[in-house]
Structure 1
Amino acid sequence: MSSRMGDLLKEKLDQLQCHFTWRPQKETIDLDDMVYRLQDAIIFANKYQAASYNQLAFVNCLQGNSEEAIQNLKEAEKILRENHKDAFERNSIITFGNYAWVHYHMGQLDKAQSYLDKLEMICKPLTDGPLYTAKIPEVYGEKGWSLVSSAVEYYEEAMECFEKALEKDPNNTEWIMGKATVLFRLETFSGTPESHEWSQSVKYLRRVLELDPDDSMAMVLLALKLNGRSKWEEANKLVEQALQKPSKDPYVLRYSAKFYRAEGAVEKAVNLLKQALELTPHSCFLHHQIGICYNIKLNKLGNRNSHSPATQQQTELISQCKYHFGKAFECRPRSAIRPMLDFADICIRSGEHKKAEGIYNNLVKLEGIRPENMQQICLQAGSFELYQKGSELSAISLFVKGVKIEYDSRERKMCKEKLEKWADKKLCYAPRDSKALGVRGLLYQLDGNKSKAIEYFGKALEIDHENEEYLCALSKLRNRD
């Protein structure tokens, strides 16, 4: 096939709805971790096996394992034929799209075209839109789950997918559970709109259990939400009911562990997490959760005096924390930000400041991550610069970076509080410190106090005449209507 024909084929492939045209790409996901998670999902999440095989085919193709990707797609196709005998074709749109892309990457253009031909025949009666795809609930739903499992950056888009799927199929428990899962996760981020209406996920989780009373994942997620609303008795019953299921589900075990950890039953939580780890030994999430439990135990012992040696129990707990936090980001160098921050914090507590500094230096360079994660990095790295290294300028620069990210999270508020405290203290004994005056100007600007912001940026410029940051801020403030 000529190069021109190959280009025409690529134009058609770009029209498809499948993993190769959705947003997550090689640069935005941790591929090795994704492989482990999808393999675990294939074993334990029976409802979503075909979808997991589809996504695994995409990841394998990204890693250059095209033959393995084809085998993954054959497994997906087999499951779909068994589970959707009367609606196989509409459920196979994404699988066939992935087939076409994998064959294209293998240079098998005739085979890629054959799958496009199949898609055209399937989609023609289903849509008035593009020739090779159909925007039907099955497509939106699988896309939603794919985005949820890829990275937190795609949660909002996943929500839109589940909502579109539910428009035409409002009682589908898979799509309701998908929306509930996204809401549950978004509600944990302090800067999201969902965090202010965090009972939304409760509504959808209850709906799942109305339609499928045996859904143990819905039980434990609902329990976590109800426990946060002081409905302990109902929450506890839900967790106990989920754990009584005959087949052990590692996902149910890990969320049950979060429930018991929140209740203060840390040892019980550790036992559940270790059971889950036996089932899914490569789970970064589980290692992080175990590390958090050991950190709680460490905190209960109190802070040791920096001049006195750690007790044997403290030393053992620090070692356990470092091991599990380290394992948590071992195959997730891009996305396991919280475990890295927790690891750095433990390093500080054990006196390994150089190791902590190296982690912070790498984290502050990251791009394209969720805003609250970058704000947390700025907060923690700034605190390290201020309290461990005594470097005020570096610390203030990081706190400023955190507050300038326009995302109203708890971490941003804490960065702001650090700046306020520092500026007030500094100006008490150095009223003409340009940096402190500039920080005060920025804080007034963020609070919407235009006149005070202009006053303080002006004072800062009187001392630091050519500071471009202050000049730019003043220019914007004075030109604003």
Structure 2
Amino acid sequence: MEFMIMIFLSRSNTPGDLLKEKLDQLQCHFTWRPQKETIDLDDMRFRLQYSLTWRVKYKAALHNQLAFVNCLQGHFEEAIENLKEAEKILRENHKDDFERKSIITYGNFAWVHYHMGQLTEARSYLDKLEVICKPLSDGPRYTAMIPEVYGEKGWSLLGSGAEFYEESKECFAKALEQDADNTEWIMGYARALSRLESLSGTPESRDQSQSVKHFRRVLELDPDDAVAMMLLALKLQRLRQNVEAYKLVEKVLQKTSDLPHVLRYVGKYYRQRGYVVKAIKLLKQALELTPHSGFVHHQLGLCYRRKLKYTHSRSPRKPEFQQRAELIKLCKYHFEKSFEHRQRSAIKPQLDFADICITSGEYSRAEEIYGRLVGLEDIRSENIQNICLEAGLFELNQKKSETNAVSLFLKGAKIECNSIEREKCCINLERWADRKLIINAHDSKALGIKAFLYQLDGIRDKATEYFEKALEFDPGNEEYVSALSQLRV
């Protein structure tokens, strides 16, 4: 027995295992939370490649993240080339603080060589990191939590999906503690904050003007930042400060009218303002430059859906009928393209696609989309609630399945996230329960749902009353018994 344990221990302490223990201490893309199972790799690769083509800023960080994606997809040589390019950019642009800037790049180098089985090369990068980090930190040997590390981690998390927005915001906040006037970190913080403000269940959504002051600060330090101008314009538009928003958009178009990452925001601005034809023109220009952009495809789909609302003819003989059919076709095409490589992250485009399928009577296609979305795990609570709401309405209105609809509404309502979608799930549950109880005052399921809703609102006496009534007609129901026990405690 002792001999077998010794063999096991010797196997678990191979050079590769010992090296991995050290690699796990690093701060780089391979040790941050987003992994292969939680991000859409093809979509991220497309976005990074386009950013490298069209953007001047942050190219070293973009190469770093692309190296991570290429490595996860088994493209090791491409990953090494990405990292060499990142190192070259850092040497050229940051001669005085190259070592501080290279911590993440060298960490990624070590991990890629490890995945390639090149353990000697991986160790050489660990040695470099130990030399760099020793004077910068009293903590781990191979890394240092300095603003450059926090900042690049923030950008990586921000681009990895909505589940990581909170952590991204905290990273930028940490970077800014030591470097308060760094426009890169202020911009990252503003973008993370703005995205959280747009999610109905977050604390940030209660005051959607917080990001405005940070976008303004970016423009104080860098008046020519066109992306900051457009993101500020979109926030002001949302806050109904339309005059200032319009002036910013006009200024952007005078300065920069040919960059896709600017055009797409201008297109969104005009779509939201109701100038759909102008929006389509701008978004098509952006799409020519970035044909795989899920964002642009989604915006175009929304434009065509808006036009669809004004075509009502059901007669095949009228030109409007053909126009309607063409608009439905365009909506479906662009919505589907927008989530082609984003099955996990593009929840709203998939719900929009299902909605268009319902409009065109393709219920089986809509059912397929809802079925896949309901099965997703490890996504934001607001997204799960939105899926439950839309899928529940489909079951209720198109499939006439009250049982399935109630089950979905309940799932959404039970998630502890006070979003608009949760509120709508509760409204649909209440309507259903009230309708049922008018027909049959002894319906235990309807009584149980009323009890749950009262419990959710904190009205304990009514919740207790309705759970007790539900148990009269469904004695032994474990869910009701458990809820009553909690209420009585």
**TM class, shorter-length:** over 0.9
Q: What is the CA deviation profile of residues 357-412 of structure 1, one whole-angstrom value per residue up to 9, with x for unaligned ones?
A: 11111111111111111111111110011111111111111111111011011111
* Stretch of structure 1 that moved more, 42-51 or 95-104: 42-51
Q: What is the CA deviation profile of residues 406-446 of structure 1, one whole-angstrom value per residue up to 9, with x for unaligned ones?
A: 10111111111111111112111211111111110110110
Q: What is the CA deviation profile of residues 156-197 of structure 1, one whole-angstrom value per residue up to 9, with x for unaligned ones?
A: 000010000000100000000000101111111111111111
Partner of 1:210: 220
Contact preservation (8 Å) 1:41, 1:48:
no
> Is 1:158 the equivalent of 2:168?
yes
Deviation at 1:335, TM superposition (A): 1.3
Task: Tell me which stretches of 4 or more aligned residues in structure 1 moved more than 3 Å.
Answer: 302-305
What is the alpha-carbon distance in structure 2 between the residues aligned to residue 46 and residue 255 of structure 1?
18
Partner of 1:396: 406
> Is 1:273 the equivalent of 2:252?
no
Cα 1:239–1:51 shift into 2, 3 Å = same
Cα 1:247–1:346 shift into 2, 3 Å = closer
Deviation at 1:468, TM superposition (A): 2.2
> Is 1:144 the equivalent of 2:151?
no
3-state DSSP of counterpart to 1:244: helix
Q: What is the CA deviation profile of residues 289-319 of structure 1, one whole-angstrom value per residue up to 9, with x for unaligned ones?
A: 11011111111335969xx998111101100
| Aligned partner of 1:315 among 310, 325, 345 | 325
| Aligned partner of 1:412 among 422, 432, 436 | 422
What is the alpha-carbon distance in structure 1 between the residues aligned to residue 473 and residue 137 of structure 2?
67
What is the alpha-carbon distance in structure 2 between the residues aligned to residue 420 and residue 247 of structure 1?
50
What is the alpha-carbon distance in structure 2 between the residues aligned to residue 466 and residue 357 of structure 1?
35
Q: What is the CA deviation profile of residues 252-311 of structure 1, one whole-angstrom value per residue up to 9, with x for unaligned ones?
A: 111111111111101111111111111111111111111011111111335969xx9981
What is the alpha-carbon distance in structure 1 between the residues aligned to residue 101 and residue 43 of structure 2?
27
* Stretch of structure 1 that moved more, 344-353 or 4-13: 4-13
Q: Which amino acid aligns with 2:472?
A: E
3-state DSSP of counterpart to 1:46: coil
> Is 1:199 the equivalent of 2:218?
no
3-state DSSP of counterpart to 2:344: coil
> Is 1:72 the equivalent of 2:82?
yes
The unaligned stretches of length 5 or more in structure 2 are 1-10
What is the alpha-carbon distance in structure 1 between the residues aligned to residue 82 and residue 248 of structure 2?
35
Deviation at 1:229, TM superposition (A): 2.6
CA RMSD of aligned residues (A): 1.7
The unaligned stretches of length 5 or more in structure 1 are none
Contact preservation (8 Å) 1:69, 1:102:
yes
Contact preservation (8 Å) 2:311, 2:321:
no
Deviation at 1:32, TM superposition (A): 0.6
> Is 1:290 the equivalent of 2:300?
yes
Partner of 1:57: 67
Give the percent of matched residue pairs that are identical in Structure 1 and Structure 2: 67
> Is 1:446 the equivalent of 2:477?
no
> Is 1:365 the equivalent of 2:358?
no
* Number of residue pairs the alignment of both structures matches: 478
| Aligned partner of 1:88 among 98, 110, 116 | 98
How do 1:117-266 and structure 2 match up within 5 A?
Answer: 117-246=127-256, 248-266=258-276
What is the alpha-carbon distance in structure 1 between the residues aligned to residue 314 and residue 420 of structure 2?
28
What is the alpha-carbon distance in structure 2 between the residues aligned to residue 251 and residue 459 of structure 1?
58
Contact preservation (8 Å) 2:266, 2:279:
yes
How do 1:446-465 and structure 2 match up within 5 A?
Answer: 446-465=456-475
Cα 1:434–1:355 shift into 2, 3 Å = same
Q: What is the CA deviation profile of residues 327-356 of structure 1, one whole-angstrom value per residue up to 9, with x for unaligned ones?
A: 111111111111111111111111111111
TM-score calculated relative to the size of structure 2: 0.95
Deviation at 1:471, TM superposition (A): 2.0
Partner of 1:325: 335
